[in-house]
Amino acid sequence: MILEGDCLEKLKEMKDESIDMICTDPPYGYSFMGKDWDKAVIPVSYWKECLRVLKSGAFAFIMSSPRQDVLGKMISNLTQAGFNMGFTSLYWTYASGFTKAHNVGKKHKKLRGAYGGFQPKPAVEIILVCMKPLSEKTYVDQALKNRKGITWLDDCRIPITNNNE
């Protein structure tokens, strides 16, 4: 099912513990290319609504910028909302991209004829892995109750071969 509209309003229409998993790429909060929709990191109130609709033990996979100020705020907001953040993040790496801010080095060189600044080309985004806390005592008990609290990532692994075989 696809719902169109303001996400917070649509979340408020959903029943408690009705969602199996959330996967989202929200705004990062640094006004990417001057866009108004990207002015702020998603607030705690939105994440509380996400937590409310998730089933106990269900996972949320949240895209985030690797930029430390954005990443730190995102993790803080998710923690304050009540998500269990005790998981290893996933990393989406790619070969394309471009600098996301003014290149100080180029401007300095143009003005002074010398190099300066630090502006790496981003080639990774962080996927925060978080979970609605378990309603049961163990992951196994949670999985037996509602099939949550577990993941199966083997199908996502990059295959490797051993040339010595």
Q: Following CA atoms 96, 94, 89, 60 in sequence, which dihedral angle do they give, to the nearest 10 degrees?
A: 80
Domains of the chain by start residue, with CATH: 7-95+123-148 (3.40.50.150)
Contact 45, 11 (CB under 8 A): no
DSSP for 130-163, written as a single string: EEPPPSSSSHHHHHHHHS-S----GGGSPP---T
The amino acid that residue 129 corresponds to is V
Q: Which two tokens stand for residue 72?
A: 């730190």
At position 57, the amino acid (one-letter code) is G
Q: How many CB atoms lie within 10 A of CB 131?
A: 23
pLDDT score at 147: 86
State the pLDDT at residue 106. 64
Low-confidence ranges of the chain (pLDDT < 70): 31-33, 96-122, 152-153, 156, 162-165
pLDDT at 69 (0 to 100): 86
Token pair 């989202």 is found at 24
pTM confidence score: 0.76
**pLDDT of 151:** 75
User: What pLDDT is recorded for position 118?
Assistant: 53
* Per-residue pLDDT, 80: 98
Q: What is the pLDDT of residue 33?
A: 67
Asked if 100 and 69 count as a contact pair (C-beta separation under 8 A), the reply is no
pLDDT value at residue 102: 57
Per-residue confidence (pLDDT) for residue 111, from 0 to 100: 66
DSSP string spanning 90-135? EEEE-S----SS--HHHHHHHHHSS-----PPP-EEEEEEEEPPPS
